[in-house]
Chains A and B, each alone.
Chain A
Amino acid sequence: MAEFKDKVALVTGASRGIGRAVALELASRGAFVIVNYAQNEASAKEVLSTIESSGGKGEIRHFDVAKTSTVQDEIGKIGEEFGGLHILVNNAGITRDGLIVRMKEEDWDVVLSVDLKGVFNSTRAAAKIMMKQKYGRIISITSIIGEMGNSGQVNYSAAKAGIIGFTKSAAKELGSRGITVNAVSPGLIETDMTRNLPENIKNKYVEGIPLGRFGTPENVAKVVAFLASDDASYITGEVVRVNGGLYT
């Protein structure tokens, strides 16, 4: 399949989990994928070599989405070097859980900086390129936690809820330039983020999921790829839930 032939895609936080699956999915459909990571170089290299070993193309770019001027520079360079930027997937995210009365200011700040400000930083830089192209697909990964809340995650849920508002506003601003802006809201997905949940908590969650299981990163990646495709050309400002029915 080469539906994304000649398309340049940037996936932030692509070294693991959902970001990794999105990078592999877009590459398998012909996109040139820029694999961004902030911490885990070895994993990023593994993602790129997996892409290349199945005939795909891409490159690795190391930067922290929370650093505004760095993001501006790096994404500007990507646009120049690869002749544009067509698909941006804002996936990078972290958690620093704790009950509100015990949560440290730093834990609030760092989660908001990476998970929400990172989306602003990357989208602003990418939109400048996409406006000139009169084409763009911006897809941000929010979370079921941003929609229904979760004890111990006021920072993460605030950031993820913020992404939803951000997405709707940016969709209104950029629609006239052929740029769609959407969000995908995963439920409980088998990643490093959920792997360490205690077994009894996991089982309790599964009881509440109509489809009776955690989702896979690939389940989410397929929806991201759909929103990046021409099939989704009339969808913007939308939040697509991929949660097995856990929250509707």
Chain B
Amino acid sequence: MGIQHEQEIVGKVKKMVASQLGKPEDEISLESAFIEDLGADSLDLVELVMAMEDEFGVEISDEDAQRIITVQDAINYVLERRK
């Protein structure tokens, strides 16, 4: 995977979150917390993590996944580790 522009990653993550949680994209802000604001359950989070692993070619450990609380956290994770 080549270097992706930051805005592109932000867009992709938002799109993935929207489709996973069945919410319109404009309801998803960077500050949205998956569980508290977006109503995700534990299985939703696992599915998001697996989708991010596939999409961005990163491996997200369970420990790291627990620290991903908001949409911004997810984006930061990908930005730090993308190949």
Q: Complex: how many Å from CA A131 to CA B48?
A: 12
The count of A-to-B residue pairs whose CB atoms sit within 8 angstroms is 9
Taking the nearest CB of chain B, how far is it from the CB of A9, in angstroms?
23
- Quick one: CB contact mask for B26-59 with A, threshold 8 Å, 1 for yes? 0000000000000001010001001000000000
Taking the nearest CB of chain A, how far is it from the CB of B45, in angstroms?
12
Q: Contact check, A176 vs B50: say whether CB atoms are below 8 A apart.
A: no
**Total interface residues on A, using CB and 8 Å?**
7
Q: Contact check, A177 vs B43: say whether CB atoms are below 8 A apart.
A: yes
Q: Complex: how many Å from CA A174 to CA B41?
A: 12
Taking the nearest CB of chain A, how far is it from the CB of B10, in angstroms?
23
Taking the nearest CB of chain B, how far is it from the CB of A185, in angstroms?
27
A131 neighbours in B (Cβ, 8 Å): 43, 47
Q: Complex: how many Å from CA A174 to CA B44?
A: 11
Q: Contact check, A128 vs B43: say whether CB atoms are below 8 A apart.
A: no
Taking residues whose C-beta sits less than 8 angstroms from the other chain, chain B's interface range is: under 10
Interface residues of A in 146-201 (CB under 8 A from B): 173-174, 176-177
B50 neighbours in A (Cβ, 8 Å): 128
Q: Complex: how many Å from CA A174 to CA B43?
A: 8
In the complex, the chain B residue whose C-beta lies closest to that of A132 is: B47
In the complex, the chain A residue whose C-beta lies closest to that of B41 is: A176
In the complex, the chain A residue whose C-beta lies closest to that of B42 is: A173
Q: Complex: how many Å from CA A87 to CA B19?
A: 25
Q: Complex: how many Å from CA A222 to CA B50?
A: 36
Q: Complex: how many Å from CA A20 to CA B41?
A: 39
Q: Complex: how many Å from CA A164 to CA B47?
A: 25
B41 neighbours in A (Cβ, 8 Å): 176
Q: Complex: how many Å from CA A205 to CA B76?
A: 64
- Quick one: CB contact mask for B58-79 with A, threshold 8 Å, 1 for yes? 0000000000000000000000
- Quick one: CB contact mask for A51-75 with B, threshold 8 Å, 1 for yes? 0000000000000000000000000
Q: Complex: how many Å from CA A177 to CA B43?
A: 9
6 cross-chain pairs, A with B, having the tightest CB-CB distances, nearest first: A131-B47, A176-B43, A177-B43, A173-B43, A176-B41, A128-B50
Q: Which residues of B are in contact with A by a Cβ distance under 8 Å?
A: 41, 43, 47, 50
